[in-house]
Amino acid sequence: MQWAIVIAAFLASAVEFVEAFTLVLVAGITVNWRSAIVGALAAVATLAVIIATLGVTLVTLVPLDVLRFVIGFLLLLFGLKWLKNAIQRYSGLKLLHDEEAIYATRVAEARARGEPVKTGLDTFGVLLSYKSVLLEGLEVAFIVISFGGSGPNGIGLAALGAAAAGVLVIGAGTLVQAPLQRIPENTLKFIVGIMLTTFGTFWSGESFGINWPFSDLFLLLLALIYLAASILLITAMKQLQSRTALATTSPKTTTLSQK
């Protein structure tokens, strides 16, 4: 019975930790690690205050659905903006963005002026990391309280399971982040746009009481739906661009050939 509590809390919390860590990773790789870590630590501190103040009554006092709605809505706004920019770049409607080249130029300019290089906090990075860790952290707290209430010393055992899941996910994520850094910037932004839109849809849907099929596994299916739709949109926009280009150049070609 006691092992059942530890294992159940471990498995359920691992899913939440993976969701939170994914977005921290996104903030770390695409913005900077300082912002991602500050956001995550701030969320952990907020969680500590909430849990220390409310304790077990957390389950009844924190409106998790409201939190899911607000965070889901914001992630949808962010995600669609990123996805739109990425699709525009891939379809040729916008110039491809070479962040590394821009960064190198800025660093060189700053050095030439004798200014220190800015690697400070970025509001977007901090906020993205903060809200995902806060929401998922609260869900882990709910899991610990719900599973822990079913036996003697239950909360301690469930917390042990959750902590083990946290250590495992963070450890695995640390190993994964190095190869992720090698992905080209535009590809990464495209993936991030899809991920933010996926999480935004999932959480805002849950806030309305939508029971997604296959539970959290539906996140993968949602990501595939958005990926397929984005690829279709890129193809359609490329065709539209080439048709427009042909339409604008063909009269000139005709007149030239007539001459």
Cα–Cα distance between 195 and 26 in angstroms, integer?
9
Q: How far is the CB of 130 from other proteins (least distance, A)?
A: 14
Q: How far is the CB of 136 from other proteins (least distance, A)?
A: 20
Q: By C-beta, is 101 or 121 nearer to other proteins?
A: 121
Contact (CB, 8 A) for 59 and 139? no
Cα–Cα distance between 6 and 154 in angstroms, integer?
9
Cα–Cα distance between 47 and 119 in angstroms, integer?
27
Q: By C-beta, is 147 or 203 nearer to other proteins?
A: 203
Q: By C-beta, is 30 or 230 nearer to other proteins?
A: 230
Q: By C-beta, is 150 or 249 nearer to other proteins?
A: 249
Q: By C-beta, is 174 or 242 nearer to other proteins?
A: 242
Contact residues toward other proteins (CB under 8 A) are 69, 73-74, 76-78, 80-81, 83-84, 87-88, 93, 123-124, 197, 200-201, 204-205, 208-210, 212, 222, 225-226, 229-230, 233, 237, 240
Taking each helix axis from N to C terminus, what angle separates 64-91 and 218-258, rounded to the nearest 10 degrees? 30
Q: How far is the CB of 176 from other proteins (least distance, A)?
A: 27
DSSP structure string for 40-109: HHHHHHHHHHHHHHHGGGHHHHS-HHHHHHHHHHHHHHHHHHHHHHHHHHHHTSSPPP-HHHHHHHHHHH
Q: By C-beta, is 60 or 211 nearer to other proteins?
A: 211
Q: How far is the CB of 36 from other proteins (least distance, A)?
A: 17
- CA angle at 29 for the pair 28 and 34, rounded to the nearest 5°: 30
Contact (CB, 8 A) for 196 and 75? yes
Q: How far is the CB of 43 from other proteins (least distance, A)?
A: 19
Q: How far is the CB of 48 from other proteins (least distance, A)?
A: 27
Q: Which two tokens stand for residue 18?
A: 């993976």
